[in-house]
């Protein structure tokens, strides 16, 4: 496939080797800010001329982190803290950590004690997303911006922030365009490849990633759409890892035609709205996001998930339930109820980045494939 294969390989390699990307940026003399999931104002770091880089855990087995976290803590937090303690992310100028769940609240303090050489910038989000809450968030963002400016050694001009927000909006649009176009080429964009394209965005400067994904989409559009004869599903959860999970989907001829994953489409489906200034725009975006970790009595994300399944012809939803993730677990019964009313089958899988035997998952996915 020539150029398309080259692009997909490049994005896949980057998604699997963030440590190499970190060394590359540090070697270029750039300052890098670690960004814990699921949301931090990385746009502020980018506007200050620094590189925001995601920290989404890894498949490594935590050793040092066990002295700081209980065994029933989220695997992403275990491995992310381990990356700080063992020097994997050495060279970061700071990390931004959102206090959105009990595990993340602990991590801000654990990191401060265990990884003293990398400063912590806590991000406090209001769950009240009406006027008073968003005004508070604006003040929080101003404080964070000052800390980032001190690290960068420069002030962020208003025009620089506005240009950065516009760049992020363009990137989000390109990502959603890719996801839509990918559904016409499910023979090429396998579950693993789709995940790699999405995940690689966390480890690259947005302008660079935008151009690569835009080219991928253009290359796909040059090819005739195919009729997928396998099964179609929508994924939901925090993330869909390890890679072995995605490989099993492919083996079962199951294509991913949409997602409500915090690591993937949840990041891009809510554009940064217009406003009087950049800080206000970022706060307003928070008010419009839909996520299991954000208070939303209407559970709009589940409705969006059902609509995505219906619009793409998906007959199943796979809930990638991150082990010990309370916010996701609270929503699981509601997902089953709403999908059941639409004749869409639901499979709940317990996800652990530190994968052991995959045979139980394989059996359940194989059975699910026969049902949908």
Residue at 42 is within a domain: yes
**Would you state the pLDDT for residue 1?**
60
Domain enclosing residue 76, as ranges = 20-158
Pairing of strands 94-98, 345-351: unpaired
Residue at 100 is within a domain: yes
CATH, residue 58:
3.40.50.11890
Residue at 354 is within a domain: no
Note the residue count of the chain. Answer: 372
Residue at 46 is within a domain: yes
**Would you state the pLDDT for residue 12?**
98
Residue at 343 is within a domain: no
Q: Averaged in consecutive runs of 10 residues, what is the pLDDT profile of the chain (372 residues)?
A: 93 96 98 98 98 94 92 93 96 97 93 97 96 97 98 97 98 98 98 98 98 98 97 97 95 97 97 95 97 91 92 96 93 89 90 82 95 90
**In whole angstroms, what is the distance from residue 12 CA to residue 1 CA?**
16
Q: Tally the domains of the chain.
A: 1
**Partners of 33 in the beta sheet?**
52, 94
Evaluate whether 124 touches 12 at the Cβ level (below 8 Å). no
**Would you state the pLDDT for residue 282?**
98
Residue at 104 is within a domain: yes
Query: 210, 169, 161: which is closest to 49 by C-alpha?
Result: 161
Direct distance between the N- and C-terminal alpha carbons of the chain, in angstroms, rounded to an integer:
32
pLDDT digits (tens, 9 = 90+) for 257-268: 999 999 999 999
Torsion 212-301-239-91 (CA) sign = positive
Evaluate whether 293 touches 281 at the Cβ level (below 8 Å). no
**Would you state the pLDDT for residue 354?**
75
pLDDT digits (tens, 9 = 90+) for 327-341: 999 999 999 888 877
Residue at 72 is within a domain: yes
Residue at 324 is within a domain: no
Evaluate whether 285 touches 326 at the Cβ level (below 8 Å). no
């Amino acid at each position: 496939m020539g150029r398309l294969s080259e692009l997909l390989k490049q994005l896949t390699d980057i998604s699997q080797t963030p440590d190499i990307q970190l060394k590359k940026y540090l070697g270029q003399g750039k300052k890098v800010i670690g960004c814990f999931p699921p949301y931090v104002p990385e746009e502020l770091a980018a506007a200050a001329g620094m590189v925001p880089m995601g920290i989404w855990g890894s498949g490594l087995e935590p050793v040092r982190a066990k002295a700081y976290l209980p065994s029933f803590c989220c695997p992403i937090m275990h491995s992310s803290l381990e990356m700080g303690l063992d020097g994997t992310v050495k060279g970061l100028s700071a990390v931004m950590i959102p206090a959105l769940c009990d595990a993340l609240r602990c991590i801000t303090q654990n990191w401060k004690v265990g990884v003293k050489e990398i400063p912590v910038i806590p991000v406090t989000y209001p769950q009240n997303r009406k006027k008073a809450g968003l005004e508070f968030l604006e003040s929080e963002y101003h404080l964070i911006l000052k800390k980032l400016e001190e690290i960068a050694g420069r002030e962020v001009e208003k025009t620089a922030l506005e240009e950065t927000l516009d760049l992020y909006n363009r990137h989000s649009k390109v990502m959603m365009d890719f996801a839509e176009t990918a559904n016409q080429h499910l023979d090429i964009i396998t579950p693993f490849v789709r995940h790699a394209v999405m995940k690689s965005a966390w480890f690259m400067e947005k302008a660079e990633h935008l151009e690569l994904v835009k080219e991928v989409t253009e290359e796909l559009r040059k090819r005739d759409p195919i009729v997928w004869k396998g099964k179609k599903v929508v994924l939901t959860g925090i993330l869909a890892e390890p890679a072995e999970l995605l490989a099993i989907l492919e083996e079962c001829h199951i294509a991913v035609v949409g997602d409500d994953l915090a690591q993937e489409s949840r990041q891009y489906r809510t554009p940064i709205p217009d406003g009087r200034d950049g800080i206000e725009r970022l706060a307003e975006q928070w008010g419009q996001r839909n996520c299991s970790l954000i208070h939303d009595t209407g559970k709009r994300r589940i409705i969006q998930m059902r609509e995505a399944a219906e619009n793409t012809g998906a007959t199943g939803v796979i809930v990638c339930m991150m082990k010990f993730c309370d916010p996701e677990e609270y929503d699981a019964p509601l997902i089953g109820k709403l999908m059941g009313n639409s004749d869409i089958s639901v499979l709940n899988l317990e996800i652990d980045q530190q994968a052991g035997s995959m045979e139980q998952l394989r059996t359940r996915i194989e059975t699910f494939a026969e049902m949908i």
